Amino acid sequence: MDSLRDLEAALGQAGSAAAWQRAVAEFLKRQTLWYGHGADSAEGEAAWLVDWLCRDGGPKAAQAAIVTGLLRRRVLERVPLAYLLGEAWFAGLPFRIDPRALIPRSPLAEIIERGFRPFHAGTGRLLDLGTGSGCIALASAYHGDFDRVDAVDVDADALAVAALNISRLGLGDVVRLVKTDLYAGLGDASYDIIISNPPYVPTASMQALPPEYRHEPAHALAAGEQGLDYVDEILRGAAMRLRPGGMLFLEVGEAAAALERRYPTVPFLWLEFERGGEGVLALEAEQMREYWSVDRA
Ligand SMILES: C[S@@+](CC[C@H](N)C(=O)[O-])C[C@H]1O[C@@H](n2cnc3c(N)ncnc32)[C@H](O)[C@@H]1O
């Protein structure tokens, strides 16, 4: 089934959600697409799309044209499915999403879903640096037991998406949004956990990204020649602001090797994930203070 016309005809005949899913997956598999913005395969995207239809009382024959309309943009414009549907799932929670913010997909979800155990009790005060849609801050507030979560971003558009998600998830009593360049607007606040999925894509990799990534804000991805433009300040700031017993969780993706070269003596703990993903490190406050020689809690 190569064409959208064939797909629409097949959906018109498909009698069950499973048959819709098979027809959509078969169509997607014949296209040139990049997966990894919320589903990692044609089958995953087909299941997500049909689940979305089911939530709207479908799938029914009248929705065949809606599906082919969405898939036309998916194939011709390479728009990620999350932006087409206006939703993304992260740590088991639904998020509103649009091209003002990066599509949630960080492997940090696995740690957050466990309430940060066994690394930390998931209590006290948490800072999410570069919150985008708010997914990490909000999922942490939901799965953890924090008194307060500060969610910061330099981009007012991304914060507008985060605000939608705060009200949708009803977490406004715990999560506070702050528009600031990293720590600059946080006064002398200290934290039990600092967590961040900052921009970390090196310049050369930016140029080679599949077309799907070009629908996301470039400033949410690009981080200079080595992908480390934000990391020094995040590490130094965390050493100063983490409370005793506190922890930093930092995603640096493909910039991990460059980070190891820059800080050869720092004992980064590289985390492993059941659902895949790499380039995420953890550091304890005490280890950080030793390396950055800070004597302030
Ligand atoms: C990779 S995205 C992560 C978004 C979200 N945390 C997630 O995991 O989906 C990085 C975010 O950092 C924000 N950002 C970039 N530079 C920043 C800065 N100097 N201070 C604060 N946030 C920044 C971007 O606007 C973007 O929302």
Query: What is the rounded average pLDDT of the residues 101-110?
Result: 98
210 C-beta neighbours (distance < 10 Å), count: 13
Best mutation site among 155, 161, 249 for ligand 1 pocket (most ligand atoms within 8 Å of CB): 155
Give nearest CA residue, ligand 1 atom 19: 181
283 C-beta neighbours (distance < 10 Å), count: 22
pLDDT tens figures, 194-225 = 999 999 999 999 999 999 999 999 999 999 99
Give the chain's mean pLDDT: 96
pLDDT in the model for residue 297:
42
Residue 1 has pLDDT above 80, yes or no: no
For 125: left if phi > 0, alpha if psi spans -120 to 50, otherwise beta; the answer is beta
Best mutation site among 105, 178, 197, 228 for ligand 1 pocket (most ligand atoms within 8 Å of CB): 197
Ligand 1 neighbourhood includes 251 CB (under 6 angstroms):
no
Ligand 1 neighbourhood includes 153 CB (under 6 angstroms):
yes
Residue 294 has pLDDT above 70, yes or no: no
Beta strands in 143-237 (DSSP E): 145-153, 175-179, 191-196
pLDDT tens figures, 219-270 = 999 999 999 999 999 999 999 999 999 999 999 999 999 999 999 999 999 9
Q: How far is the CA of 47 from the centre of ligand 1 (A)?
A: 29
Q: Who contacts 113 (Cβ-Cβ below 8 Å, separation ≥6)?
A: 91, 92, 139, 143
Residue 127 has which token pair? Answer: 């800072």
Residue 255 has which token pair? Answer: 């910039």
pLDDT tens figures, 159-182 = 999 999 999 999 999 999 999 999
Ligand 1 neighbourhood includes 151 CB (under 6 angstroms):
no
Residue ranges of domains in the chain: 4-85, 99-292
Residue 74 has which token pair? Answer: 């998916």
Residue 10 has which token pair? Answer: 């097949």
Pairing of strands 93-96, 269-270: unpaired
Query: What is the rounded average pLDDT of the residues 68-76?
Result: 97
Give nearest CA residue, ligand 1 atom 26: 220
Residue 2 has pLDDT above 80, yes or no: no
pLDDT in the model for residue 248:
98
CATH fit for domain 99-292, picks 3.40.30.10, 3.40.50.150, 2.60.15.10, 3.40.50.2300: 3.40.50.150
- Give dist(CA 160, CA 217) in Å, integer: 14
Largest CA distance in the chain: 69
Best mutation site among 93, 105, 219 for ligand 1 pocket (most ligand atoms within 8 Å of CB): 219
Residue 49 has which token pair? Answer: 């799309």
Half-sphere exposure of 160 (CA within 13 A, CB side): 6
Q: What is the dihedral of CA 238, 100, 84, 29, to 10 degrees?
A: -50
Q: How far is the CA of 72 from the centre of ligand 1 (A)?
A: 30
pLDDT tens figures, 51-67 = 999 998 989 998 999 99
From 10, 89, 9, 13, select the one nearest 49 (Cα to Cα).
89
pLDDT tens figures, 9-42 = 999 999 899 999 999 999 999 999 999 999 999 9
Q: Who contacts 275 (Cβ-Cβ below 8 Å, separation ≥6)?
A: 107, 109, 110
Residue 296 has pLDDT above 60, yes or no: no
Portion of the chain with pLDDT greater than 90, in percent:
94
Local structure of 95: helix, strand or coil = strand
- Give dist(CA 171, CA 30) in Å, integer: 42
